[in-house]
């Protein structure tokens, strides 16, 4: 039964996870598992299902999630294998305990983070004399993470009624790379959205996306946004 729900929720939820621990915690909450009696195998399976869906996006953003997956699979194996009585008297934590304390440890800080967020919102209207901290931040742009890039693409997808997958001459990555650089040389900056939507073709979008990641890696461009959820800009580094 849970498996059915996931497909639907995936789209909404995936964007909100800040990392593997949050996903894990979300699963515990969703299934109402007792934290002190976790069904380790079931929880790990659930986690793996999510990872699989993430991988289907075919983007290498699941790094942290995969590392966690390895840890979880090991815990699952230990959980399922019959425990050999330990020779020494000191008690080793079971896989169940280990997983629980991992989640509890994270959740402690996550709960505090939530309190901080509430305080931050309360503080928003308390201005001190002499300085507007917001102004400072306003001028400062941050680098979007991969989630942000994907969100941007997803938004574009959902706003484009038809998206033909045409079979045609291959778009060469290095060619597109040069093209983007030329485009940027003229105007110094461009919106991420503007670059991926120059042609409404799936292949073009994918190649552009990879080209931008590559240019960013080569430090030829910088991807920046004012804050989370705001438009992503591509700046030429000279």
Shortest distance, position 229 Cβ to other proteins, whole Å: 8
Q: Which is nearer to other proteins, 124 or 186 (CB)?
A: 124
Please compute Rg for the chain using Cα positions: 23
CB 72 within 8 A of CB 103: no
Closer to other proteins by Cβ: residue 49 or 110: 110
Q: Which of 15, 67, 80, 191 binds other proteins (CB under 8 A)?
A: 67
Of the pair 106, 235, the CB lying nearest other proteins is at 106
The CB density around residue 234, as the number of other CB atoms within 10 Å, is 22
- Shortest distance, position 199 Cβ to other proteins, whole Å: 31
CA–CA dist 85, 167 (Å, integer): 62
The residue count for binding other proteins (CB under 8 A) is 54
5-64 residues near other proteins, rule: CB under 8 A: 16, 18-22, 28-29, 32, 35-36, 63-64
- Binding string to other proteins for residues 113 to 132, with x set by CB under 8 A, is what? xx-xx-xx-xxxxxxxxxxx
What is the rounded (10 degree) CA torsion for 166, 214, 55, 62? -160
Instruction: Give the C-alpha separation, 83 to 99, whole Å.
Output: 16
Element (H, E) at 191: strand 189-191
Report the side by side order of strands in the sheet with 232-236: 189-191, 232-236, 221-225
Footprint on this chain of other proteins (rule: CB under 8 A): 16, 18-22, 28-29, 32, 35-36, 63-64, 67-68, 71, 102, 104-114, 116-117, 119-120, 122-135, 137-138, 140, 142-143, 145, 227-228
């Amino acid at each position: 039964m849970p498996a059915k729900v996931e497909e639907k929720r995936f789209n909404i939820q995936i964007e909100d996870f800040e990392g593997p621990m949050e996903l894990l915690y979300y699963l515990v909450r969703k299934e109402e598992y007792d934290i002190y009696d976790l069904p380790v195998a079931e929880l790990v399976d659930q986690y793996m299902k999510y990872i699989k869906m993430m991988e289907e996006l075919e983007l290498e953003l699941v790094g942290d999630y995969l590392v966690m997956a390895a840890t979880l699979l090991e815990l699952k194996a230990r959980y399922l294998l019959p425990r050999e009585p330990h020779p020494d008297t000191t008690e080793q934590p079971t896989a169940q305990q280990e997983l629980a304390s991992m989640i509890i440890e994270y959740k402690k800080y996550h709960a505090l983070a939530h309190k901080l967020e509430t305080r931050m919102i309360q503080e928003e209207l308390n201005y001190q004399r002499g300085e507007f901290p917001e102004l400072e931040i306003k001028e400062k742009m941050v680098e979007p993470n991969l989630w942000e890039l994907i969100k941007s693409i997803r938004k574009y997808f959902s706003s484009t009624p038809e998206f033909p997958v045409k079979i045609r001459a291959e778009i060469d990555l290095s060619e597109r790379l040069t093209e983007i650089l030329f485009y940027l040389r003229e105007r110094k900056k461009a919106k991420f959205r503007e670059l991926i939507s120059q042609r409404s073709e799936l292949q073009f979008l994918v190649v552009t996306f990879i080209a931008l990641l590559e240019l960013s890696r080569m430090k030829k461009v910088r991807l920046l946004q004012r804050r989370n959820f705001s438009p992503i800009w591509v700046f030429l580094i000279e």
